[in-house]
Amino acid sequence: KCLFLSGLTEQQLDYMHDHSLPEKYSIGFTNMVERTTPGSKDLSSKEIREGGRQLLDKLQKYKPLIAAFNGKGIYEIFCKEIFGVKAKSLEFGLQPYKIPETKTVCFLMPSSSPRCAQFPRAQDKVHFYIKLKELRDRMKGLAVGREVVEMQYSFDLQLAKEDAKRMGIKEEQVDPEYESCSGLHDEARQNI
């Protein structure tokens, strides 16, 4: 949904379109770890570190303009494993590191999971996709739309819940063990 709302795709797509994204939009998806789990909290830091090395190989092979990371926790481990640095106070957006032996820049996004308490809805996350599109367009030398203005973003979860209730939108269930947008459970982060 956010790919469409941001203008990265001209139509709303679903998982059935994953295979056409690389050719049609120059967008590809991959996993840090091949094993399917209910969430990143079910992965060990060892699995994520090993997956980071495999991801590095893929990024060096395909050399995309941008590697977008879905969640702070995954990116923290990737930084330590690949760049040899412990990421401090990560901010979403363009990161200071490039993928070794490429010109690929890193862009950090909040977790796309609806369980992400800080940004639970698509409209809360679309700003980051717009910024990703702007970065891509700048890197390709395309004119960046002026309709999007940089602004300070704050989010009032209580107000959002009241709005949703007033509009008759059913509240999504939140996993109580998944309280951050890092995409990684605190236990696994401590094992880094």
- What is the SS3 string spanning 123-181? HHHHHHHHHHHHHHHHHCCCCCCCCCCCCCCCCCHHHHHHHHHHCCCCCCCCCCCCCCC
Has this prediction a pTM greater than 0.75?
no
Element (H, E) at 68: strand 66-70
SS3 state at 50? helix
**Which CATH number is 38's domain given?**
3.40.470.10
Angle at the Cα of 118 (from 171 to 107), degrees rounded to 5? 130
**Number of neighbouring beta carbons within 10 Å of residue 121:** 15
Q: Over its length of 192 residues, how does the chain's per-residue pLDDT go in tens digits?
A: 878 888 888 888 888 888 888 888 888 888 888 888 877 778 887 888 889 999 999 999 999 999 999 888 888 888 888 998 887 778 899 999 999 999 999 999 887 766 665 665 666 778 888 999 999 999 999 876 655 455 555 666 777 677 667 766 666 555 555 445 555 554 444 444
Q: What is the pLDDT of residue 100?
A: 95
- Give the tens place of pLDDT for each residue, 150-164: 555 566 677 767 766
Q: Which structural domain, as residue segments, surrounds residue 7?
A: 2-190
Number of domains in the chain: 1
